[in-house]
Amino acid sequence: MSDASSSLPSKSYPAAEHPGDTPRPEVHSGECDARHAGNAEETVPVRIQPGELVLVATPIGNLGDISRRAVETLEAADLILCEDTRTSARLLREYGIRTRTRPLHDHNEEQQIPALLDALGKGERIAVISDAGTPLMSDPGYRLVRAVVAAGGRVSAVPGPNAAVMALTLSGLPPHPFMFSGFLPPRDAARREVLARLHAAECAGLSATLIWHEAPHRVAEMLASLADVMGGTRPAAVARELTKRFEEVRRGTVAELAAHYAQNPARGEITVVLGPPAQDDSTAADLDSQLRAALQTLSVKDAAALVAGITSLPRRTVYARALELARGAE
């Protein structure tokens, strides 16, 4: 990587126009001249530069949602890295984009980085797209971006559709703060363990709207896990087929949604949004206080069982918090 990084184009700064002036950075994709900073409506020509890596957002279902700038960037690129070239081919055909493509996914990303750094160092313009939406959010590309940044290369982005953000804005739930966690583990035991850790964090003070993607055939069991671990009375929303003909956002408590999808199997692309817990400043302090007292004489397992019985909180949640407190005391 060191050899490739040394060949990447370095950012140059023009000389100051007057003595004492601070040199102004070269404007490239993703940067804007200060004269235009306050004018959100102005269309500024931004072209992909030699040796630049650009993350390009693509539609999440409706091909008409791609931006003009995204199309222009993909046309100007020397190479488009696709999560799945077969999936991306339809979009590229729709807009007559003939740029060569190459797959970039979890199984080959690390191996491709040296060659891609070398290509960028030689001035190639490379775009990254996912199957749908904004790259890296639940898709490969992070390792490549990290490597390019570490090598001193240019990284920019063309913004656009994002299913998690769209689901959040349509959910009717508090939009900030929010936390997007991609996909939960498919197996129930692992999924419940992750949820228990999140709930323990909530008991310790975390208050945020939580967002996940989920496969349609697992939505019912995922919601059942949410109800058991996080609480069935929490407000939630299930968004599916966003931007498509059968777009739907169903809202209710977690228990209500779990019951609905247990009887009505979901179809299409799914995003689940969970509202924050009811605000009770005493809950976290009381839980920690009781656990600390119990841990003075009991094991983590026994302390968690005792406090879970007293508080009626899920045992997994209490155990996860007890484990954190015990480790912090070591």
Tell me the pLDDT tens digit for each residue of 200-220.
888 777 899 999 999 999 999
Domain span including residue 101: 52-161
Q: Helix H segments across 64-175?
A: 68-76, 85-94, 109-121, 142-150, 163-171
What SS3 state is found at 160? Answer: coil
The verdict on 157 and 176 lying in the same domain is: no
> Cα dist. 204→20, 113, 201 in Å?
52, 40, 5
**Residues 121 and 212 occupy one common structural domain:** no
Cα dist from 156 to 124, 125, 220, 291, whole Å: 14, 11, 38, 47
Judge whether residue 15 has pLDDT over 60: no
Phi, then psi, of 16 in degrees rounded to 5: -65, 140
Q: Tell which wins on pLDDT, 233 or 288.
A: 233
Note whether residue 141 is domain-resident: yes
Give 28 or 98, the one with higher predicted confidence.
98
Token duo for residue 249: 């956002």
pLDDT over 50 (residue 6): no
Look up the pTM and report it: 0.74
Which pLDDT score, from 0 to 100, does residue 17 have?
37
pLDDT band at 20 (very low <50, low <70, confident <90, very high): very low
In a domain, residue 21? The reply is no
Query: Which of 64-78, 120-134, 202-216, 296-310 has the least mean pLDDT?
Result: 296-310
pLDDT of residue 142: 95
Residue 55 tokens read as: 């993350």
User: Domain boundary residue among 254, 274, 294?
Assistant: 274
Q: 235-240 and 248-253: which strand pairing?
A: antiparallel
128 neighbors 53 (Cβ within 8 angstroms): yes
Q: Is there a single domain that holds both residue 177 and residue 101?
A: no
SS3 assignment, position 12 = coil
Q: Which residue has the higher pLDDT, 61 or 314?
A: 61
Task: With cut-offs at 50, 70 and 90, classify the pLDDT of residue 19.
Answer: very low
Residues 87 and 179 occupy one common structural domain: no
As for how many domains the chain has, the answer is 3
Nearest to 243 by CA among 2, 66, 12: 66
Q: What is the dihedral of CA 63, 64, 67, 69, to 10 degrees?
A: 80
Indicate the pLDDT class of residue 9, thresholds 50, 70 and 90: very low
Choose the weakest-confidence range: 45-54, 150-159, 219-228: 45-54
Q: Which range, of 154-163, 196-205, 234-243, 294-303, averages the lowest pLDDT? A: 196-205
212 and 270 in a single domain? The answer is yes
Domain CATH for 73: 3.40.1010.10
Instruction: Give the tens place of pLDDT for each residue, 30-57.
Output: 444 444 455 556 666 678 899 999 999 9
In-domain check, residue 232: yes
**215 and 259 both lie in a single domain:** yes
Determine the pLDDT at residue 10.
40
Confidence of residue 25 (pLDDT cuts 50, 70, 90): very low
pLDDT of 84 strictly over 70: yes
Residue type present at position 191: R
Per-residue confidence (pLDDT) for residue 197, from 0 to 100? 85
Looking at 120, 141, 161, the residue that finishes a domain is: 161
pLDDT for 104 equals: 95
pLDDT at 50: 96
Q: Is residue 86 part of a domain?
A: yes
pLDDT of residue 290: 80
Selected residue with higher pLDDT from 231 and 247: 247
Rounded to an integer, what distance in angstroms lies between the CA atom of residue 29 and that of residue 147? Answer: 19
User: Exposed, middle or buried, 60 (CB in 10 Å: 0-12/13-18/19+)?
Assistant: buried
What is the average per-residue pLDDT within 307-317?
81
238 and 307, same domain (yes or no): no
Residue indicated by tokens 């999936």: 87
pLDDT value, residue 273:
99
In a domain, 16, yes or no: no
Question: Do residues 154 and 84 both lie within one domain?
Answer: yes
pLDDT of amino acid 3: 38
